[in-house]
Amino acid sequence: MPKVGARHATVEVTGWVTKFVGGDGSGRKLYTEPVAAGDTVRDILRRVSARHPELDAALWDASKRELGENIEVLVNDAVLGISHTLDSELQPGDHLTLVGQYMGG
Amino acid sequence: MTPTHAVQEAVRAVSRQLPGGYAGKLLRVDLTSGRSWSVEWSPEEMRTYIGGVGLGAKILYEEVPPDVGWDHPDNRLVLATGPLAGLPVWGTGGLTVVTRGALTNGATSTQANGFFGANLKFSGYDAIVIQGQAPRWVYLSINDDTVELRNAASLVGKDTWETQDALSAELGVSGHQLSVYSIGPAGENLVRFAAIQGDYGHVASKNGCGAVMGKKKLKAVAIVRGTKAVTAADPRGLFQAADDIAHDLKTNPLAKSLYEYGTLPGVVNLSKLGVLPIKNYTTNVVPEGVDFSRWEAPKLRQGFDHRGHQCNACGMHHCHIQVIPSGPHKGERVDEPEYEGWSGAGWTIGLTDPVAVSWLNTRIDRACVDVNEFGWVVGWVMECVEKGYITKEQLGFELKWGDADGAYRLLRMITHRQGFGDLLAEGVKRAAEKLGGPARECAVYTLKGATPRGHDHRGRWDEMLDTCTASTGTLETGNPVFPQEMGQPARINIFDGDQVAKLVAGLLGRRHFEDSLGICIFTTRTTIQNICQALSAAAGWPYALEEAVRFGRRTAAILRAFNLRCGIGPDFEYPSPRYGSTPIDGPAKDQAVMKQWERMRELWYEGVGYDPKTGKPLPETLTQLGLDWLRRDLWGK
């Protein structure tokens, strides 16, 4: 884990989702994002996905406002809905994780 | 034939224009008398019941009365395929087993693939319906028009892979030219979670269907790839549909991982969501010291010498055979575990070495029991031993979390019903209830007697609700790739009971539709519309999403009515204390499903149009589904 500055959050792209950011579908890729006052989960995710078209296509639904069904988002290791929604403000030091949705047996 | 009869025959033939994709006949086998015969089924029945679980549910309801339990000779064992089987759409070797199962003593619908469905279709049959009980061990041999019950004395005691080898040698046919589905010693010894395995790695595993087959003294069904043509009504349309489906599987973000790695990404993904079942639900945190990088999908595959082991007409990189690379079983050929194998033979029992899990998983398939139930049984025993609820003296040996050799020893004891294994062979619910006390509190099961798939549903409430309300002894709904197609949101707050209940109710039916087509659920990770397009082209029906959903809900209602008639009603729609417990750590920590359970059930009942008191589909629901005959049965009006 890289050292995160006082006004930054980290976005961790894991496992299968790394395929959408140039990875091989394993391990993780970390992105450090500056957090300004009022920045929400949605804002930070938008900034990261804007730099990665494949991730952008997989992460958002057709409206491009809401998350699609392909990727789960965790904030500080908790699934969205427990402590945060897309519109929750992020604090410096917060940690987002993108996990591939999984169905099957 | 008299002229009059000839005219009648001609009229019948014209009125029975067979839809494409169908053989048009069911093979019926009475093991008691040793007789087999074929019966035609009508195009109207085909449109109404399609095949697979749709057809099986109808047969079960019509032919298995409530006093015929799972082990009664009159119970039916339906091995059904569907209209896409044998056609050039990916994964079309599909088999659905429908019966009254040994764990819940209720309906069962469980799927496997390989080549069975295609070989059966090429032999001229859409399904096999087996009844009765053979006086001695037999196997069913199908070679085009030659259907025989043959002596299986030499196969008794053999595991499923050995059985397939032996039948391949006996029949002089190998590879894809022969599909063999058999039971192992577990089925012979009526282990309640015995499964039916075929084609070296495909398992119809749920609700003790292998015990049903064992009770009938039917060791195996062997089908030589037949020579009869299966044609699509619109071949060009079928190729287009197959192409669209394949394109989706290769490119859709959600299906792409399945296309490239099968279900291998599941372990890492689910661990982060708190859905990987670790050590029998005692924790949600990967134990310290585990090298989790070995569990990434590419590493799981590259860690073994492997080769593709595709099902009929499949282009997915899903099923593989691999070679054990190290350790005491080095060099042994095994079937690459599905996610459920990594989970049931691994994480659930605290075994975190992929090589050991891979070996144990195939031993479980060969023996042959349901890998999920095995995990819940063995994980429960390991926890009980650790806590002193089961003693070394009771068990007969020392056992600790993650002990692969100990788990294998338990597998043999269960399979042969030896010592403590005799109790465990009854499945986790019965074993836990018999032991009682604090041991019972540690067991993961539903009150119906089923168990979850290899997930920690305390972090996936939709699947817990589905598992507990389902009529088939396992998941009945399953999330589609595009829930929006069925009027559901792309995503929900997974810990909001209201949203969860509405989603599960709203998705009811899709899985039954897929499981009636003779196709794999991993190659239907596309739009339902695409699947309808394939069915339309195959059968020649204009078939659309609305009819698919209605069909699925109709099938669900028939299965539910069957269970209600067997005394399995709403009182059983609950998780055991441990299954419904609140996680004490991990990503789903403190999320208490039972606080919302009653409300979830209430909303689910409302959503599916069933009566919460009796469990029955409401009269108006049945009428909407075109089930007035069932309405009269259930409501007398």
Is A26 in contact with B298 (Cβ distance < 8 A)?
yes
**Angle at the Cα of B506 from the Cα atoms of B505 and B510, rounded to 5 degrees:** 100
- CA-nearest residue to A62 within chain B is B490
Q: Dump pLDDT digits (tens) for B319-365.
A: 999 999 999 999 999 999 999 999 999 999 999 999 999 999 999 99
Q: Dump pLDDT digits (tens) for B151-176.
A: 999 999 999 999 999 999 999 999 99
Higher pLDDT, B477 or A102: B477
Is B269 in contact with A103 (Cβ distance < 8 A)?
no
pLDDT of residue B491: 87
Q: Dump pLDDT digits (tens) for B176-195.
A: 999 999 999 999 999 999 99
Strands B77-80 and B127-131: antiparallel
Is B265 in contact with A16 (Cβ distance < 8 A)?
yes
- Residues of A near B (Cβ–Cβ under 8 Å) read 14-16, 19-20, 24-27, 57-58, 61, 66-72, 74, 77-82, 97, 99-105
Q: Decide if pLDDT at A53 tops 80.
A: yes
C-alpha distance from B545 to closest chain A C-alpha (Å): 20
Confidence of residue B416 (pLDDT cuts 50, 70, 90): very high
pLDDT of residue B3: 47
pLDDT of residue B17: 87
CA gap A18, B169 in Å, rounded: 47
Higher pLDDT, B569 or B479: B569
Strands B305-308 and A95-100: unpaired
Peptide bond into B368 cis (omega under 30): yes
Which residues in B lie closer than 8 A to residue A57 (C-beta atoms)? Answer: 253
CA gap B391, B401 in Å, rounded: 15
Q: Decide if pLDDT at A1 tops 50.
A: no
C-alpha distance from A72 to closest chain B C-alpha (Å): 8
C-alpha distance from B544 to closest chain A C-alpha (Å): 23
- CA-nearest residue to A24 within chain B is B298
CA distance readout (Å), B142 to B3, B121, B122, B132, B150: 35, 11, 11, 18, 10
Confidence of residue A5 (pLDDT cuts 50, 70, 90): low
Q: Please enumerate in sequence order all residues whose Cβ is within 8 A of that of B137, keeping only pairs 6 or more positions apart, or say none.
A: B151, B152, B153, B155, B156, B217, B219
Strands B333-335 and B320-323: antiparallel
- CA-nearest residue to A84 within chain B is B493
Is B269 in contact with A78 (Cβ distance < 8 A)?
no
Residue with tokens 């691999």: B322
pLDDT of residue B478: 77
Q: Dump pLDDT digits (tens) for B436-483.
A: 999 999 999 999 999 999 999 999 999 999 999 999 999 998 777 889
pLDDT of residue B406: 98
Give one word for B612, left, alpha or beta, with left for phi > 0 and alpha for psi -120 to 50: alpha
Is A104 in contact with B268 (Cβ distance < 8 A)?
no
C-alpha distance from B258 to closest chain A C-alpha (Å): 9
Q: Dump pLDDT digits (tens) for B41-52.
A: 999 999 999 999
Is B260 in contact with A67 (Cβ distance < 8 A)?
no
- CA-nearest residue to B342 within chain A is A105
- Whether the CA torsion A32, A33, A36, A38 is positive or negative: it is negative
Asked if residue B561 lies in contact with residue B633, where contact means CB atoms within 8 angstroms, the answer is: yes
CA gap B36, B54 in Å, rounded: 23
Cα B248 to its chain centre, rounded Å, is 24
DSSP B109-168: EEEE-TTHHHHHHHTT-SEEEEES--SS-EEEEEETTEEEEEE-GGGTT--HHHHHHHHH
Strands B95-100 and B305-308: unpaired
Q: Decide if pLDDT at A2 tops 50.
A: no
Which residues in A lie closer than 8 A to residue B293 (C-beta atoms)? Answer: 26-27
Asked if residue B30 lies in contact with residue B131, where contact means CB atoms within 8 angstroms, the answer is: yes
If DSSP codes are grouped into helix, strand and coil, which group holds residue B27? strand
Computed over every residue of chain B, the mean pLDDT equals: 95
Q: Dump pLDDT digits (tens) for B359-412.
A: 999 999 999 999 999 999 999 999 999 999 999 999 999 999 999 999 999 999
Q: Decide if pLDDT at B607 tops 90.
A: yes
pLDDT of residue A103: 67
Asked if residue B362 lies in contact with residue B162, where contact means CB atoms within 8 angstroms, the answer is: no
Q: Dump pLDDT digits (tens) for B52-73.
A: 999 999 999 999 999 999 999 9
Is B338 in contact with A57 (Cβ distance < 8 A)?
no
